Chain A
Amino acid sequence: MELTRPSDVADLDGGIFVHGGTEVVPLVRDGILSGAKLVDVRRVVPRGVDDGVIGAGTTLAELEVDPQIPDALREACRLAASPQLRNMGSLGGNLLQATRCWYWRLKYPCRLHGGDRCHAREGEHREHAIFANDFCASAHPSDVATALLALDARIRTTRRELALFELYRVPDENDRDVVRLEPGELILEVHVPTVEASVYLKAMDRKKWSFPQVGVAAARVDGTVRIALAGVAPIPWLLDSPEALDAATPLPRTEWKVPVARALVARALATLG
């Protein structure tokens, strides 16, 4: 494999983008991502926080101690992964991280890999989805994306600007991807609007270094509250209202996530006041 280190957006020309490497390196090693060229984008992607604009190259470790950013995002960063991973992992990369579904990670020929069945639905799925899980039951693992979704963040890529919720899509028969980025498109910045209050709560399997079994982000702007959930659907999940949890379609061994989500949503709303 060839490794390039471009220093200008104009020099980008295909390949697998890598920043901190905490996700891409294991996926390349396992043969899930393959290609001839690895492109280190650290010189291309902005890093740092300037008012409401966060460089996509900013690490989670930098964000978790930054007083300028909303509570939900800071807390989502603090509760993610381990300190070592947060020192390396970038904001942009985090938004694009893949599911932890063990079938997908072990390269079962599942729907997300282009196959014709979801092995998790009939198999082991205690960590899987309770929404939009008919085609693929994988759960999206990003705490950070969920916080940004509740905050109604926008992203700027090398080609356009779009709302974060537009970045994600539930995979289907025709398109197995969970993000709408085009080939060669790179996230450069995240724009976070000012909110009155925000919060992120997370149910984990141990106190540190655990992907969200259920993560709940909530933010209030002009009296309106936005709620988003992590670990409950193939993509970060926007919840229209607390009652929308009644419409969950859990699998036999993900039913437990519904009451946990309900409790965390109630707590998040109580925290917002």
Chain B
Amino acid sequence: MARLIRTEKEVEGRFEEVWLVVEEDALDQWPAGPQAIVGRDATRKDALERVRGEAKYTADLQLPGMLHAAILRSPYAHARVNKIDLSKALAAPGVHAAVGPGDAKGLEDEAGYAGAAVAAVAADTLAHAQRALRAIEIEWEELEVVLDPEDAVKRELYTAEPTTYERGDFEQALADADVVVEGTYRTSVVLHNSMETHQSVCEWVGDTLNVYISTQYVWGVRSAMAEAFDLPADKVRVVCEYMGGGFGSKNDPGEYTFVGAELARRTGRPVRCALSRRDENTAAGNRNATIQKLIVGARSDGTICALGGEFVNAVGWTGWSAMTEGPLQMLYACENVRTVRYGAKINTPPMKAFRAPGFVEGTFGLECLIDELAAKLDVDPLELRRKNYASSNDGKPFSSKNLMECYELAQEQWDRRHEVRSRSTGTWKHGVGMASQIWFGGGGPPSYAWIRIGSDARAQVVTAMQDIGTGTRTAMAQIAAEELGFPLDRVEVSLGDTSRGPYATLSAGSSTTPSVGPAVRAAAADAKRQLIEIAAQRYHVEERILDIKDGNVVSADGNVNTAVEKLVEVLEDAQILGKGARGPNPTGMSVLTFGIHVVEVAVDVETGEIRVERVYAAHDVGRIINPLGARSQVEGGIIQGIGHTLSEVRLHDPESGRILTTTLDAYRMPTIADVPEIVCAFVDRPDEHLTNLGSKGLGEPPIVPIAAAIANAIRDATGADVHELPISREELLRALQSAKEKERRGAHAAV
């Protein structure tokens, strides 16, 4: 039965109260551990298409008569277009249309950052379009530029009002503390740099707008385009069957799609609008820089009694201010907490969600601070974390929390540190560090799935979700196959098309599997029920003793044992249609994911070279659907995190605000040579309160703790407290120098 409920919806740590129509989740969870198909390694359903180059990405799409758009971007960090003349561009060879400020959403006459979209043209080729951009005449008025986030906060230039939080009596608790540690931590701007740049192809067919787009949210693009062009939503069709990464930066249509659709409308031709790699490094979103002033007070027995933090998110011209204080509020059982967070509005390109936004940055600061506290207290960092284990989240019980089991799993790795340290020789120092992970990832309603089974005994799961490259297509097939009792190769998944399936959630916030998975299972259960009804009639047995296992209909009394193919022969053109919906999340509970990373590093204290030699990761995300896919998520998160930790930084010119690192030789992501040995473990225990699967998402958790774990390993190896990401050679050498001076002062004081 459909039920109307008032519930809290969470996406990327942002909460809102919403009315939701949900269907009851009537299925009991499967028992813990591997099932016939779920919980066992499955190679990707689309692996062959991908490696053969047959998978069609948006970048591969060529429509007849397609034009190419190029976007003119502001060279100024803050300026107004006083006058613009598109006539020469319109007259340029090959050009079919040109648009300026106000002509399409995303083209504005006030550019708030260098790289803001101002105008665009559509032409026969990209080269024609790019050349025509140079013919656009603009009279600019330069406006005041603010680039320093602390300066913005001083002047109260915010993207949103500051957020404050307090529990207990922070001041008093800090005054009563035996030990106090404080520090300022900084994280830099880093980029998603998806392999497939942001792009779409827009085409008008009659009064319908078709949008082919590399996106994490086909339904979000559908509603945004319908709103922008004043269309009924069902007159917009959004398609994304394969995509080359998003990491949070492709949740909305982006100005390139609004521009492309408008140019397509004006020309009556399909229009491709794709960001170049340089634009991708400039105007496709970023993980914003943060400044975190943190303080912790503890009793001499190691009980953390006060935690405080002042956080500045350097949001950019627009964007939202992520919950950087989240880990500090949620990870430890501390009664007295005070935080304030500012979202600084500055003239830099807007942030966009990036794989656990806020928590990646906040965990770096917090988990470094906790290790510095452990050093000051002279206690084992892992023991300190066990001692301050949180058993509820601000009074709310956890739907499930197995962080202690993660600590248990990691203990053996942690114990390696004595042996690892003993490898130090000459200028190379070895050490081991750890950090804990907390993040959301429970997903939520609504999401729907259908299943279609015909007389060929193959099941097609139909749901308009998108697989952003994480392998969720395969996970959905496994869930359906498991519930149906079909072999995995008899299940296909049709996805990524708003006109060919029911609504499914956005692929962000580690939510696809925990949101869509239960709906797929419910649809499969519905279809299986119908198959068994048919079998009962055909074989004259009671439904209650029938089951389907490995593609065979079997009865408990052994009288029926026949292939599903034989059963469904009778269908001919008839089809069995199953439907399922995602049920509600448990009320009054905190649904979170947990984990720990233990990292081994080697540091050359003379040259500042850092080698990450081994990463052990244990995560608690409920039931694991596909261990192979799960391991690959963990590896990807760790590798991406190593980039942010050691080598990646997007720089802008402090005077003009222009982005300086716009190519992949200047913006340095890790190469395969930078990837260490990675060992993964999962608690793999279903969350008994969460859906018919007990599964949470794993897209984001593995990137959360890696930076702090590396920084803590560096401290273990060298005694240096790094306080800044990336830990470049200069940051490491600075930290080493400062440790040396601290030691000298200490020795001096002792004398």
Contacts and interface: CB of A to CB of B under 8 A. Distances in A.
A37 B615 CA distance: 52
Nearest to A210: B668
B666 A102 contact: yes
Nearest to A256: B730
B671 interface: yes
Interface string A121-135: 011101000000000
A203 B609 contact: yes
A205 B607 contact: no
Given A103-B660, A123-B653, A205-B668, A256 B733 contact: yes
Interface in B637-678: 646-647, 651-655, 658, 660-663, 665-666, 668, 670-674
Contact of B730 (A82, A126, A207): A126
Interface in A243-273: 253, 255-256, 259-260, 263-264
Contacts of B663: 105
B380 interface: no
A103 B670 CA distance: 24
A193 to B, nearest CB: 29
A156 interface: no
Given A106-B658, A106-B662, A203 B671 contact: no
Given A205-B728, A207-B673, A209-B665, A259 B653 contact: no
Contacts of A165: none
Interface in A11-54: none
Given A119-B653, A205-B668, A256-B733, A106 B660 contact: yes
A218 to B, nearest CB: 16
A160 interface: no
Interface in A207-244: 207-211, 213
Contacts of B658: 106
Contact of A211 (B653, B662, B665, B670): B665
A126 B647 CA distance: 13
B651 A102 contact: yes
Contacts of B652: 124
B606 interface: yes
A207 B668 CA distance: 11
Contacts of A260: 606-608, 729, 733
Contacts of A103: 653, 660
Nearest to A101: B660
A123 B658 CA distance: 11
A259 B609 contact: no
A263 B606 contact: yes
Contacts, number: 74
Given A119-B655, A124-B652, A260-B608, 12 more contacts: A102-B660, A102-B666, A103-B660, A105-B666, A106-B658, A106-B662, A124-B654, A203-B729, A207-B671, A256-B729, A256-B733, A260-B733
11 contacts: A82-B671, A102-B651, A123-B655, A124-B652, A203-B609, A205-B647, A205-B729, A208-B673, A259-B606, A260-B607, A263-B606
A202 to B, nearest CB: 10
Contacts of A210: 668
Contacts of B733: 256, 259-260
For the residues of A in contact with B, the DSSP-based class is loop
Given A206-B670, A208-B673, A259-B733, A124 B728 contact: no
B609 A206 contact: no
B665 A206 contact: no
Interface range, A side: 20 to 34
A243 B677 CA distance: 40
Nearest to B736: A259
Interface string A101-122: 0110110000000000001001
Interface string B602-620: 0000111100000000000
B130 to A, nearest CB: 11
A100 interface: yes
Nearest to A81: B665
Contacts of B608: 203, 256, 260
A256 B673 CA distance: 24
Contacts of B668: 205-206, 210
A265 B658 CA distance: 36
A253 B660 contact: no
A211 B672 CA distance: 17
Nearest to B604: A263
Contacts of A82: 671
A209 B667 CA distance: 11
Nearest to B737: A259
A263 to B, nearest CB: 4
Contacts of A211: 665
Contact of B671 (A102, A124, A208, A213): A208
Give 3 nearest A-B pairs by CB, closest first. Answer: A256-B730, A207-B673, A263-B606
A205 B671 CA distance: 11
A124 B653 contact: yes
Nearest to B611: A207
A119 to B, nearest CB: 7
A256 B606 CA distance: 11
B286 to A, nearest CB: 16
Contacts of B673: 206-208
Given A126-B728, A208-B671, A203 B660 contact: no
Q: Which of B671, B672, B673, B730 has the most CB of A within 10 A?
A: B730
B75 to A, nearest CB: 10
Interface in B318-343: none
Nearest to A253: B730
B607 A263 contact: yes
A268 to B, nearest CB: 12
Interface in A184-200: none
A210 B670 CA distance: 10
Contacts of A264: 607
A100 B734 CA distance: 25
A206 B655 contact: no
Q: Which of B607, B608, B663 has the most CB of A within 10 A?
A: B607
A122 B651 CA distance: 14
Contacts of B654: 122-124
A208 B673 CA distance: 7
Contact of B646 (A124, A206, A208): A206
A102 B661 contact: yes
Contacts of B672: 208
A258 to B, nearest CB: 10
A122 B655 CA distance: 9
A74 B607 CA distance: 22
Interface string B71-115: 000000000000000000000000000000000000000000000
A256 B729 CA distance: 8
A207 B607 contact: no
A205 B427 CA distance: 18
Interface string A82-107: 10000000000000000010110110
Interface in B721-737: 728-730, 733-734
Contacts of A253: 730
Nearest to B670: A206
Contact of A206 (B660, B661, B674): B674
Nearest to A264: B607
A259 B733 CA distance: 9
A58 B350 CA distance: 46
B143 to A, nearest CB: 20
Contacts of A263: 427, 606-607
B662 A206 contact: no
A124 B655 CA distance: 10
A112 to B, nearest CB: 15
A158 B607 CA distance: 41
Contacts of B651: 102, 124
A60 B358 CA distance: 44
Interface in B709-746: 728-730, 733-734
Nearest to B663: A105
Nearest to B652: A124
A205 to B, nearest CB: 5
Nearest to A262: B606
A263 B607 CA distance: 7
